[in-house]
Amino acid sequence: MGTPRLSSTPLPGIGVRYDLTTREQRRLSVVAHRDGGRTLSAYRTDDPDACDLSVRLTPNEAAAVIDALLPAHHSPNLLSTTELGLVAERIQLASTAYWNGRLLGETRMRTETGVSIVAVLRRAEAIPSPGPDFRLAGGDTLIVIGTREGVEAAAAILGRE
């Protein structure tokens, strides 16, 4: 049995769509919405472009399905941010962003949004726990953790040009 093929497609302003074709040639997709919700869809076998079933799941319902597919007891040390009401997300800093070249502390990220920037990915380097004197650069990917609302606010602040 071969490795399943999973592809992803960014959906600007919505999230990311993941498509999987099963070994029985059934097409499934999951849209991971920015608000944490998920839409699970299955397509017809006789017409792979026709949707047979589409179900919108809340973040808690999606977590329950994930738990059923991959029980938590298999990964006891895995942090389940959904159960804690937190999300972790990557936010790309554009080269045209207002914060390019500025200090991380100037963003007042934790004060303004409650979000913590836990790491910065720069080229092939990961900088864990950057301090307030860390200078941001265009192209940086910031790993943030916080509430869904806080992460959305952080993305808006960091996207400022």
**pLDDT tens-place string over residues 15-74:** 889 888 888 888 899 998 888 889 999 998 888 788 989 999 988 888 778 777 765 544
State the residue range of the domain holding 116.
Answer: 86-158
Helices (H), 21-147: 59-69, 81-84, 109-113
Buried b or exposed e, range 23-33, using 16+ CB within 10 angstroms: eeeebbbbbbb
Please check whether residue 85 is in contact with residue 63, taking contact to mean a CB–CB distance below 8 angstroms.
no
Cα 126 from chain centre: 18
Strand partners, 16: 10, 32
Global pTM exceeds 0.75? no
**pLDDT in the model for residue 13:** 83
| Residue 130 within a domain | yes
Same domain, 62 and 115: no
Q: What is the CATH number of the domain that holds 133?
A: 3.30.70.1450
3-state secondary structure of 110: helix
| Residue 18 within a domain | yes
Q: Is the pLDDT of residue 106 over 70?
A: yes
Q: Is the pLDDT of residue 83 over 60?
A: yes
H/E segment holding residue 59: helix 59-69
Mean pLDDT of the chain: 84
Q: Count other C-beta atoms under 10 Å from residue 95's C-beta.
A: 10
**pLDDT in the model for residue 78:** 39
CA angle 62, 89, 82 (to 5 degrees): 35
If you average pLDDT over each of 20-24, 56-60, 128-132, 142-146, which comes out highest? 128-132
| Domain-ending residue, one of 49, 74, 99 | 74
Q: Which residue has the higher pLDDT, 78 or 88?
A: 88
Comparing CA positions, the residue from 97, 103, 95 lying closest to residue 138 is 95
What is the C-alpha to C-alpha distance for residues 91 and 142, in angstroms, rounded to an integer? 5
What are the structure tokens assigned to 77, written together? 């040390």
| Residue 81 within a domain | no
| Residue 104 within a domain | yes
| Domain-ending residue, one of 43, 74, 105 | 74
Same domain, 69 and 29: yes
| Residue 80 within a domain | no
| Residue 126 within a domain | yes
